[in-house]
Amino acid sequence: MSACIKVVAIKRKLLVLAIIAAGLVALSWYLKNHVTLEQLVAQETHIREVIAESPWSSFGIGFVIYACVSLIPGTSGKSVVYGWLYGFWQGLAIIILGLTAAAMMLFYLSRYVFRGWIEHRYGKFLTVLNKHLKKEGGFYLLSLRMAHFPFTIINLASGASRMQGRTFCWTTCLGLLPGTAVFAYIGVRLPSLDELVKNGPGSLIDAPLIAALAVSAVSPFLFRMLARKLGLLKDADIDPKLPLPDL
């Protein structure tokens, strides 16, 4: 029976990969044959003008889009795009609010709709989470956020745990701030398409950008090392089958 389940799971993964590959091929063909670089530059310029002329409405639209996309696991890179389009402070505000809103939505869905399934699927992690919440309180969740533990899993498991909603909210907002600030800054340092066309690929080489990329790569490991030193994060607490973080 278990062998049949594994075969079905593999077939589903292959189907998803095939759909993604077909989508990328179709997108590549469309961009190559129907979209010019000049059109992309003009579209980007128009979007930036709309953001500058209508900051509040563009903020609201950006927030809704970011929050909705954040509900989908594996959609990394959003923070860089928002920093690139909105600038650092406005982009950072949208990112934090959008991530927190998406996290709260998953938290309450887990608590009141999918609790039984979450307890079955993530029972081991949930047991560890409740143990640490009793001992360290919200500081444990804060350490998981700063260590870039998988966003979706924390949201779902926290909803099925004993954690209070307000504790989950402030630890999410504060814990995600350092990492998202780095990614928003990376987006700010990236050149616009117009600058890229005028100055060539060399405009991508930027010392602050390289430094920010290095920080984004190293910081999760540093936070995890610190959390392990404090006894908040142990290898035995982490299910090896858990996916990588969504950053």
pLDDT tens digits along 23-66:
656 655 655 565 555 565 667 777 788 888 888 988 998 899 89
CB 44 within 8 A of CB 190: no
* 245 pLDDT tier (thresholds 50, 70, 90): very low
* 196 pLDDT tier (thresholds 50, 70, 90): low
In terms of average pLDDT, the best of 9-18, 71-80, 140-149 is 140-149
Q: Which domain does 148 fall in, by range?
A: 37-237
Same domain flag for 25 and 57:
no
Same domain flag for 221 and 184:
yes
Same domain flag for 154 and 226:
yes
Same domain flag for 25 and 143:
no
Same domain flag for 52 and 105:
yes
The whole-number pLDDT of residue 241 equals: 43
The whole-number pLDDT of residue 125 equals: 79
Task: Identify whether 189 is part of a domain.
Answer: yes
Same domain flag for 201 and 227:
yes
Task: Identify whether 246 is part of a domain.
Answer: no
Same domain flag for 134 and 195:
yes
Same domain flag for 8 and 107:
no
Same domain flag for 29 and 41:
no
The whole-number pLDDT of residue 182 equals: 85
In terms of average pLDDT, the best of 138-152, 157-171, 194-208 is 157-171
Reply yes or no on whether the pLDDT at 243 is more than 60: no
Percent residues over pLDDT 70 in the chain? 59
The pLDDT of 67-92, averaged and rounded, is 83
Same domain flag for 18 and 56:
no
- Give CA–CA dist 26/72, Å, rounded: 22
Task: Identify whether 229 is part of a domain.
Answer: yes
Reply yes or no on whether the pLDDT at 92 is more than 50: yes
Task: Identify whether 49 is part of a domain.
Answer: yes
Length of the chain: 247
The pLDDT of 119-126, averaged and rounded, is 80
- What's the number of domains the chain is made of? 2
Reply yes or no on whether the pLDDT at 157 is more than 80: yes
Question: Higher pLDDT residue, 191 or 231?
Answer: 191
Average pLDDT value over all residues in the chain: 74
Reply yes or no on whether the pLDDT at 211 is more than 60: yes
Same domain flag for 132 and 225:
yes
Q: Which two tokens stand for residue 5?
A: 């389940």
Same domain flag for 140 and 20:
no
